[in-house]
Amino acid sequence: MHYPIPVSPEEIFALRSRPVDEEMIAVAIAGVVKLARSQGQSLDDLTAEVLEDDPMLDNVQRRWLSNLVEQAWQTLP
């Protein structure tokens, strides 16, 4: 991977200045999962946040992203 997995909210937000590609999105999701775990959140907590109504994503996109987050949660050590 060309991007290290972020370990803080600041590092996750810093990804916004980089070009968007599949690898960057995967790294961002991995960073969010690791950060949520380090803050004691459960998969259900994180999934609920992803599924919250947001003007940026529609329901289908939020469900798709929720599935990706769940896969990352189960895959990452």
pLDDT of residue 1: 54
pLDDT of residue 53: 86
Each residue of 11-31: pLDDT tens digit? 988 888 888 899 989 999 999
pLDDT of residue 28: 92
d(CA 19, CA 15): 8
Each residue of 33-45: pLDDT tens digit? 999 999 999 999 9
CB 69 within 8 A of CB 32: yes
71: pLDDT strictly greater than 80: yes
